Amino acid sequence: MDELSKMVRDYVIKEYLEEGDEREVTETTPLISGGIVDSFSMVSLKRFLERKCSIKIPDADATPQAFDTVQSIVALVRRFQQVPVA
């Protein structure tokens, strides 16, 4: 797991995984459909990514599909890391 994936995964575990939830979060664990992150909480996760990675993710791209796994989140971040922040 690379640094970015690890950062996202650790943040999800710290902020969103219920204390009593014993699931292991991997790069492919469903986060939204698995009920770990919901569509409202996605906003704070998006804000975190924008802050930490110095990117701007347009609302249209911040879909539940795009946020459903650590892997898809990392792909989204990488896509916007190549786009200069306006």
Which residue ranges make up the site for another protein (CB under 8 A)? 15, 18-22, 30, 32-41, 43-44, 47-48, 51, 60, 63-65, 68
Asked if 27 and 5 count as a contact pair (C-beta separation under 8 A), the reply is yes
- The span from the CA of 81 to the CA of 21, in Å, is 32
CB of 31 to another protein, least distance (A): 8
Residue 4 or 11 having the CB closest to another protein = 11
Residue 10 or 21 having the CB closest to another protein = 21
Q: Which amino acid is at 10?
A: D
85 phi/psi in degrees, rounded to 5: -70, 130
CB of 76 to another protein, least distance (A): 15
- The span from the CA of 2 to the CA of 57, in Å, is 21
CB of 63 to another protein, least distance (A): 6
- The span from the CA of 61 to the CA of 13, in Å, is 23
Residue 10 or 15 having the CB closest to another protein = 15
